[in-house]
């Protein structure tokens, strides 16, 4: 099991940085799957064109799906699984997630 990375805040609370797997929709309509401990920082680097060569040439990017996992090891396995999906399967995953979000708002 991978160690969990912790950071101490100024008020002495400890933040546990759980990893995220995420999917971005690029400016050309393609989908990019990635993994990050600090999702906000990683998204900003994508938007600045500094996170990956793939997204740099396909700006702008929009976060369309994310999932938090308990360990880095699980996140890596999930990233591998999602990357292996066909585009149609990824779109179905995004559709299911969007439907769940809309039901929660109702």
pLDDT in tens, 82-91: 999 999 999 9
Domain locations in the chain as residue ranges: 20-105
- Give 58's contacts (C-beta < 8 A, 6+ positions apart): 26, 27, 28, 30, 32
CATH number for the domain running over 20-105: 3.40.1440.10
User: How much is the pTM?
Assistant: 0.80
pLDDT digits (tens, 9 = 90+) for 32-51: 999 999 999 999 999 999 99
Residue 82 is inside which H or E element, if any? helix 72-83
More confident of the two residues 102 and 93: 93
Phi and psi dihedrals of 24, rounded to 5?
A: -110, 145
- Kindly indicate the confidence band of residue 11, based on its pLDDT and cuts at 50, 70 and 90: low
Report cis status (omega within 30 of 0) of the bond before 37: no
């Amino acid at each position: 099991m991978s160690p969990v990375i912790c950071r101490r805040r100024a008020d002495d609370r400890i933040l546990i940085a759980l990893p995220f797997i995420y999917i971005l929709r690029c400016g050309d309509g393609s989908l990019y799957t990635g993994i990050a401990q600090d999702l906000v920082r990683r998204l900003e680097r994508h938007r600045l064109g500094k996170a990956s060569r793939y997204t740099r040439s396909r700006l702008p990017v929009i976060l369309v799906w994310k999932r938090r996992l308990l360990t880095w090891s699980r996140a890596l396995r999930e990233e591998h699984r999602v990357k292996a999906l066909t585009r149609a399967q990824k779109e179905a995953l995004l559709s299911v997630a969007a439907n769940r979000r809309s039901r929660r708002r109702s």
